[in-house]
Amino acid sequence: MTSVNMDLELNEAIQEPMPEEPPKPIEFQSKKLTWPELRAVVSELRRQLSSLSTMVPTDFTFRTLQDGRTRIYFLSSPHHGWETTLLFADILNTNQPAGLRLQWQYVLESNFPCISSGKSSREEQLMWERKRLATWGINSYEIHEDSGKIVFPTASSLFQCVDSGYTNGQLFPTKLRMTSMGAKLNPQICPRNAELVAYICNHDIWVTHTVSGSNVRITYAHKGGRNLADDPLSAGVPSYVMQEEFSRYQGFWWQPKCVGDVYRILYEEVDDSDVKLYCFPSSHSDTGDVEEFRFPRAGSANSKSYLKLVEFKLNEHLQIVDICLLDLQFSLNGMFPWMEYVVRIGWTPDAEFVWVQLLDRLQKHLEIVLLSLNNFASDLPYFNHSSDLNNLSGNPTVQVIYAQDSQYWINVHDLLYFLPSDDPNEIKFIWANEDTGYRHLYVITSHISQLVYGLPESSEVSSCTFLTPKIVSKVQLTSGDWEVLSQNLWVNFDRQLIYFMGLKETPLEKHLYIVSLKRPGEVRLLTRPGYSYNVEFNRDCSLLVTVYSNIRKPPACQVFRVEQIGWAVEEVSLSPLGYLVHSPGSICETYLPDLYTHEIQSGHLIYAMVFKPHNFKPDQKYPTILNVYGGPEVQLVSNSFKGMRHLRMHMLAARGYCVVAIDSRGSLHRGIQFEGYIKGKMGTVELKDQVEVLRWLAESLGYIDLQRVAIHGWSYGGYLSLMGLIHHPDVFKVAIAGAPVTNWNFYDTGYTERYMDLPLHNADGYEDGSVLKYVHKFPDEENRLLIIHGLIDENVHFYHTSQLIKYMVNAGKPYQLQIYPHERHSLRHLDSSKHYETTFLSFLQNHL
């Protein structure tokens, strides 16, 4: 459920034709409409509201061409298009007007076959679900900056082309020659040799040489049988929980630098033997077939992870030969028996070490461990309790370089950056933790020890000194009651400058900041207050591209040159080079929500957002929808533009409803203590805050009709919608719950145990947080509850809803149910989305 995008269900990728002129207020009719009339209204609303959509570029890559130009590659949908494709824009190495519109150019020829045609594979569908991808077309690409080699997956295949940089002509990709059958996913180009591409097919790693055509399966973890129960191993593919709850989608990593003629890939082998199997109707068949999924419910066994290495060479004919599989001489579980999750993995920049981040089952203890390559061997001493380290070959390094603990839970992030060190016995890196209550940056120097022979035979691995980090120094770079964002860290080591994203100005705006390694604590803002930014730098931090907007202005995308005169933060300036996207003209006031702040009884500031109905008149009260998420890892209220990703909020406002969103305690970007109020008691404090702020808004604004309030949400928001109708039936007249959790015992380990502990340790919390406990409190009046769920939802299983229905029937409680047989956790088909929106509006007009 990590960072569930509530608006992914909007299926914004499949848009209606876009009108040319800015949107105008949509005509409102107060009479009740028939189903066919509502269907027509939904289609018309989608068509008109699509003008709020801006084709914002994403996934930027910078490449310096031989003539000095910088080519910026990105993904976007061209004007009037709805498929995402790969484009580029060139930045000249000369001064140019700051307001210049940079020309978008296609990388691929327009007659490249329609990439969204045909059915997608199950593997692709599940990847889109885990990554919350909401577009059709090209969703990712790899580029080798030196050669210009481009590889991208689409339609279950891999395609390649080479951009020489000498011309602006469009390229026609060719399909990589492969002998493997099945969907090809997650291609990675070898950093040293652009002709080598590794990818995943049928849960194993393959490597292809794109010139010779040599195509070899280099791991043999998966058998490929039809019976999943007898085929639990995979290589290079993270477990379900690792993808869904820790946002790690990568399971193999090329060595960044190669020694001699040996190529190496570090990979994770996942063993799902102990994870329970569940069956769902097949997404590809109408014949009643079923699909099997592994899913670890709270308190049950997780997948096991094993770190391995594969080596190979190329012969004179460019054939892949001499493949050798290597295992850790002592497994991570053997050396660190407390570990449950390998949450992050990678290589140090010099390619001499592998690093891993290990997390315990309760997610309160994390360690960063450094492993030298000679820990991997083909002949293993196989760890057992009588083994000792005297059996290790060579002098391998296994060193914990940092450890941290949390009284709440550890929020895993991507802020690890290794710095050069003059001392071979020390390693220096930038890291972030929440020891002060907010995530901040530190520079840490840690001592590295080698394991040596001669340990007493009675020594156990768990007692060895390498398990204790030897911190030489720890310097705090940032501080204060605000957080550094969990992704993106850019370092100009020559200038000793670090760029990062943070929330120092307000929790509602993401900004770019800079701090110097030479003057820790001096943080400087580089972006303009009043907007929220997303930023990407090139490799040497001389150029950046940013997408920015605020609540009243649609996104713009601008390129800046970063002028760095010296090492002081005051000596850095941004010079505009041009726009990839100009912010559209004025948006009709009708579409713009307002932001509010309220101090609740606990003393905390809570942020809220209100969409007025399009037919608003100051002297009237309006039926209101509380659009709720309320769970951890999500922020609904921010000073950023609410366009098509908030389609349904706009739809409701256009139909005469007031729409409210509130970020209660437990939500994102307010520090670990603010998030930690839900620890062990989900479903309690969130609703208390939501209701308190809703009542304050009604009193302050004067146009919210508290006698006609609906609560609606998806996933965790669906859960709170049910709990809202249970505990506050006097506040909420109706509830519309989408894909709701109904009992935390049915949800997965990684998410549930992070916030609720193990069921064995917190039985009361699980019981009190279960919707099923309170079924008798649902209202006896008809037409107050609508439940919506996709039948093949592999995230929040339909079992949650079926159990709720069972309890409702036993208690004699009324409800309405809408099932979408071919939908997962997100509604991805246009017909389903329109049907859902029609059902939603019909339910509200008839019962609110």
Contact 690, 720 (CB under 8 A): yes
DSSP 51: G
Contact 292, 228 (CB under 8 A): yes
Q: CA-CA distance, 536 to 100, in Å (whole number)?
A: 20
**C-alpha distance from residue 144 to each of 58, 141, 200 (Å):** 18, 10, 19
Tokens of residue 790, six digits: 């996709």
Q: CA-CA distance, 159 to 150, in Å (whole number)?
A: 8
Active-site positions read 715, 793, 825
How many CB atoms are closer than 10 A to CB 520?
A: 17
Contact 102, 92 (CB under 8 A): no
Q: CA-CA distance, 263 to 323, in Å (whole number)?
A: 10
Length of the chain: 848
Regarding beta strands 58-64 and 471-476, do their DSSP bridges make them parallel or antiparallel, or are they unpaired? unpaired
Question: Judging by beta carbons within 10 Å of its beta carbon (0-12, 13-18, 19+), is residue 796 exposed, middle or buried?
Answer: buried
Query: What's the number of CA atoms in the CB half-sphere (13 Å) around residue 515?
Result: 22
Give first-to-last CA distance, the chain, whole Å: 30
DSSP 108: B
Contact 158, 176 (CB under 8 A): yes
Contact 724, 717 (CB under 8 A): no
**Interior CA angle at 370 toward 365 and 375, to 5°?**
120
How many CB atoms are closer than 10 A to CB 114?
A: 11
Indicate the helix (H) or strand (E) that contains 385: none
**C-alpha distance from residue 798 to each of 1, 188, 248, 817 (Å):** 15, 35, 25, 12
Question: Judging by beta carbons within 10 Å of its beta carbon (0-12, 13-18, 19+), is residue 279 exposed, middle or buried?
Answer: exposed
Closest CA to 169 of 243, 237, 229, 88: 88
**C-alpha distance from residue 420 to each of 429, 491, 569 (Å):** 8, 12, 21
Question: Judging by beta carbons within 10 Å of its beta carbon (0-12, 13-18, 19+), is residue 158 exposed, middle or buried?
Answer: buried
Contact 269, 234 (CB under 8 A): yes
* The dihedral formed by the CA atoms of 743, 746, 750 and 752, expressed in degrees to the nearest 10: 10
